[in-house]
C-alpha cells in the first residue's frame, strides 16, 4: 500500500509460526514524495494477533538493552508531541496489511480458477479427441 507521501508498506509474512501469534514483519519504504527520507526504509515493525483473539496489533521498532541484568526496550519511533501519532501509523500499517491479505487471497483464488479452467480445457480436448477417433 502506498500513500500520498510516497510511503510504501512491505510485508514479510511469518510462515513458520514462530513466535506464536506473529503474523508478519513490516517495513516502511520512503518514495520520492517523502522528502529527505526518500530512498530509505524503516524496519522493525511487527504485526501480531492479539492474545485474546480479537484483532491485531502493531509493534514498533525498538532496541533492547540491559541495566543491572534487567532487559529493557528503547522505542526508536516515538511521537514528538501527540501520542495519537502512533495510532495513526498503527492504523496505516494495519490497513496496508488488510489490503495485502485481500490481494493475496484474490491472487490465490485467481490461480485456482485458472488451474480449474486449464483442467477443463484439457478434459474437453481429451473428450473431443476420443469422439473424433484421435490417438490419445
Q: What is the pTM of this model?
A: 0.72
pLDDT tens for each residue of 62-101: 999 999 999 999 999 999 998 899 999 999 999 999 999 9
> Tens digits of per-residue pLDDT, 13-55?
998 888 999 999 999 999 988 889 999 999 999 999 988 878 8
Q: What is the mean pLDDT of the chain?
A: 85
DSSP-assigned beta bridge partners for residue 75: 62
Amino acid at each position: 500500500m502506498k500513500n500520498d507521501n510516497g510511503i510504501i508498506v512491505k510485508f514479510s509474512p511469518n510462515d513458520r509460526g514462530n513466535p506464536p501469534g506473529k503474523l508478519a514483519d513490516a517495513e516502511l519504504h520512503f518514495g520520492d514524495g517523502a522528502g529527505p527520507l526518500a530512498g530509505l526504509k524503516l524496519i522493525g515493525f511487527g504485526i501480531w494477533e492479539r492474545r485474546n483473539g480479537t484483532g491485531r496489533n502493531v509493534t514498533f521498532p525498538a532496541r533492547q538493552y540491559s541495566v543491572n541484568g534487567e532487559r529493557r526496550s528503547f522505542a526508536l519511533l516515538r511521537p514528538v508531541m501527540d501520542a495519537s501519532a502512533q495510532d495513526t501509523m498503527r492504523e496505516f500499517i494495519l490497513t496496508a496489511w488488510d489490503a495485502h491479505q485481500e490481494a493475496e487471497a484474490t491472487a490465490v483464488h485467481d490461480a485456482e480458477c485458472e488451474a480449474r479452467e486449464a483442467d477443463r480445457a484439457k478434459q474437453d480436448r481429451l473428450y473431443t479427441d476420443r469422439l473424433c477417433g484421435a490417438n490419445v
